[in-house]
């Protein structure tokens, strides 16, 4: 009896203990389930963070390259591959197998040894030279020993060069009219009572002329720097070259009549161009044909309709342009024989502006000349523009 009672008690105790054990195990199971869910969500978050980091690296405007202590590539983002025209599968490869730029090797050597540095160098991809700024720095992280950012500074440097040239050209060119003005003003101040009416009027004419030169210089320079900096957006349309040239001849009729010059226009062609900008380019050429073409010598304009382009030849019969000067006349401020040109108003910027405008249209400008017999400026303008908006317009 007692034995049976003890057995029952033992059974109850064992059952209770088993229950306790089951409860503990269940609690542990629940806890590990919770921990597992937590780990899964942490893993998920890490996964998304990694994707976001990669996307951020890929979306960077700068090239990014990271290497380990053996100089093997660990990270190379899309911009880096673009900058150096490199195929995508570079991860794990030694740097020297992928690039041949000594500046990069040197900068990474220094960075691996713990030194930050900034390098400037040029790389040639295809036909273009790119100016690159490289900022390399050591990285204290597992697997990565050094990283570098690569910034394409070609455009910034070009704009900086334009700005520097602009300032030096401007101050140089502005000196002559300013000196003329100063000396006229000084003569007025010191000799005001002793000047004859004729001398007085002459001084006033000099001052008015130098002021006009200054004004023209400032206007042309502002226009040229806008065009050079790429601040001029072309609005492409179909342009009937014959109609535009006829209109320009009408605009210049009075100026031409003063020099007893007549225009003859022949041919026609339609091109894709910005009507105002292309008119501005031809206006400079007609203005020059009148200024340098010589009095009573007619100006001929021939328009040819070629399969891909409209070609305009403007011929005058003035002194022409010596061979050595033909490429120089398109440079800013260049005037042939400055002393002779002093008589003829101009800033020396017209052909520079014209050339830039024609190049922006994807066209070309050339000059032919037999010195003493005159000059022919030849402008070739494509019928279809490389600009997509213009292509749509041109196909209408």
Of the pair 225, 385, the CB lying nearest ligand ADP is at 225
Among 189, 200, 358, which residue's Cα sits nearest to residue 284? 358
- Determine the interface stretch with ligand ADP among 112-120, 158-166, 300-308, 342-350 (rule: CB under 6 A): 342-350
> Binding of ligand ADP at residue 336 (CB under 6 A)?
yes
Q: Which residue is nearest to ligand ADP (CB)?
A: 346
Site string for ligand ADP, 296-325 (x = CB under 6 A): --------------------x-xx-x----
At 272, list the tokens.
């894709």
* Residues 188, 203 contacting (CB under 8 angstroms): yes
In the complex, minimum distance from the CB of residue 121 to ligand ADP, in angstroms, rounded to a whole number:
36
- Strands of the 144-152 sheet, one edge to the other: 73-76, 63-67, 144-152, 128-141, 117-125
Site string for ligand ADP, 62-81 (x = CB under 6 A): --------------------
The total of other beta-carbon atoms located within 10 Å of residue 213's CB is: 21
Of the pair 250, 373, the CB lying nearest ligand ADP is at 373
At 154, list the tokens.
């070609």
In the complex, minimum distance from the CB of residue 232 to ligand ADP, in angstroms, rounded to a whole number:
18
Residue 228 CA neighbour count, 13 Å, CB half? 20
Q: Is 298 helix (H, G, I), strand (E, B) or coil?
A: coil
* Residues 148, 80 contacting (CB under 8 angstroms): no
Alpha-carbon span 154 to 119, nearest angstrom: 14
> Binding of ligand ADP at residue 286 (CB under 6 A)?
no
Distances (CA, A) of 102 to 62, 107, 270: 20, 9, 52
CA 287 remoteness from chain centre? 30
Of the pair 152, 228, the CB lying nearest ligand ADP is at 228
Q: How are the residues of the chain apportioned to helix, strand and coil, as percentages rounded to the nearest 5?
A: 55, 20, 25
* Residues 274, 235 contacting (CB under 8 angstroms): yes
> Binding of ligand ADP at residue 378 (CB under 6 A)?
no
> Binding of ligand ADP at residue 335 (CB under 6 A)?
yes
> Binding of ligand ADP at residue 146 (CB under 6 A)?
no
Alpha-carbon span 347 to 335, nearest angstrom: 8
> Binding of ligand ADP at residue 363 (CB under 6 A)?
no
DSSP result, 4-25: HHHHHHHHHHHHHHHHHHHHHH
In the complex, minimum distance from the CB of residue 229 to ligand ADP, in angstroms, rounded to a whole number:
19
CA 57 remoteness from chain centre? 25
Size of the site for ligand ADP (CB under 6 A): 21
> Binding of ligand ADP at residue 169 (CB under 6 A)?
no
> Binding of ligand ADP at residue 117 (CB under 6 A)?
no
> Binding of ligand ADP at residue 292 (CB under 6 A)?
yes
> Binding of ligand ADP at residue 256 (CB under 6 A)?
no
The correct pick among 145, 261, 329, 381 for binding ligand ADP (CB under 6 A) is 329
At 251, list the tokens.
């605009």
Of the pair 79, 356, the CB lying nearest ligand ADP is at 356
> Binding of ligand ADP at residue 350 (CB under 6 A)?
yes
The correct pick among 107, 349, 365, 381 for binding ligand ADP (CB under 6 A) is 349
- Determine the interface stretch with ligand ADP among 15-23, 34-42, 122-130, 347-355 (rule: CB under 6 A): 347-355
Of the pair 84, 292, the CB lying nearest ligand ADP is at 292
Length of the chain: 396
> Binding of ligand ADP at residue 365 (CB under 6 A)?
no
- Strands of the 309-316 sheet, one edge to the other: 263-266, 299-305, 309-316, 374-382, 364-370
In the complex, minimum distance from the CB of residue 241 to ligand ADP, in angstroms, rounded to a whole number:
19
> Binding of ligand ADP at residue 288 (CB under 6 A)?
yes
The C-alpha angle 231, 357, 347, rounded to 5 degrees, equals 95
At 40, list the tokens.
């899964």
> Binding of ligand ADP at residue 376 (CB under 6 A)?
no
Of the pair 177, 394, the CB lying nearest ligand ADP is at 177
Of the pair 152, 316, the CB lying nearest ligand ADP is at 316
Residues making contact with ligand ADP (CB under 6 A)? 284, 288-289, 292, 316, 318-319, 321, 329, 334-336, 341, 346-352, 375
């Amino acid at each position: 009896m007692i034995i049976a009672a003890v057995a029952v008690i033992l059974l109850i105790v064992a059952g209770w203990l088993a229950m306790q054990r089951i409860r503990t195990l269940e609690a542990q199971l629940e806890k590990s389930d919770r921990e597992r869910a937590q780990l899964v969500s942490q893993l998920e978050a890490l996964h998304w963070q990694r994707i976001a980091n990669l996307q951020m690296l890929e979306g960077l405007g700068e090239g990014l390259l990271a290497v380990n202590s053996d100089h093997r590539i660990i990270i190379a983002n899309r911009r880096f591959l673009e900058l150096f025209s490199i195929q995508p599968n570079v991860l794990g490869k030694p740097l020297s197998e992928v690039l041949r730029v000594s500046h990069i090797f040197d900068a990474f050597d220094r960075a691996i040894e713990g030194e930050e540095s900034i390098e400037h160098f040029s790389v040639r991809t295809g036909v273009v030279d790119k100016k690159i700024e490289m900022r390399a720095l050591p990285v204290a992280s597992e697997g990565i020993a050094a990283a570098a950012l690569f910034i394409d500074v070609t455009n910034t440097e070009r704009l900086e060069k334009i700005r520097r040239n602009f300032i030096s050209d401007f101050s140089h060119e502005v000196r002559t009219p300013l000196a003329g003005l100063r000396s006229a003003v000084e003569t007025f101040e010191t000799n005001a009572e002793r000047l004859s009416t004729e001398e007085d009027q002459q001084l006033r004419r000099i001052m008015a002329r130098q002021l006009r030169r200054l004004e023209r210089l400032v206007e042309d320079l502002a226009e040229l720097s806008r065009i050079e900096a790429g601040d001029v957006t072309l609005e492409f349309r179909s342009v009937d070259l014959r109609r535009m040239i006829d209109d320009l001849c009408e605009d210049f009729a009075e100026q031409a009549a003063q020099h007893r010059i007549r225009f003859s226009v022949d041919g026609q062609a339609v091109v894709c161009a910005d009507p105002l900008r292309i008119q501005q380019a031809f206006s400079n050429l007609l203005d020059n044909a009148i200024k340098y073409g010589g009095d009573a010598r007619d100006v001929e304009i021939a328009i040819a309709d070629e399969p891909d382009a409209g070609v305009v030849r403007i011929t005058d019969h003035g002194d022409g342009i010596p061979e050595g000067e033909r490429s120089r006349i398109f440079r800013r401020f260049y005037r042939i024989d400055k002393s002779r040109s002093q008589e003829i108003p101009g800033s020396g910027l017209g052909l520079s502006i014209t050339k830039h405008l024609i190049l922006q249209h994807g066209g070309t400008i050339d000059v032919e000349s037999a010195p003493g017999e005159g000059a022919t400026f030849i402008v070739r303008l494509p019928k279809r523009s490389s600009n997509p908006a213009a292509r749509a317009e041109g196909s209408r």
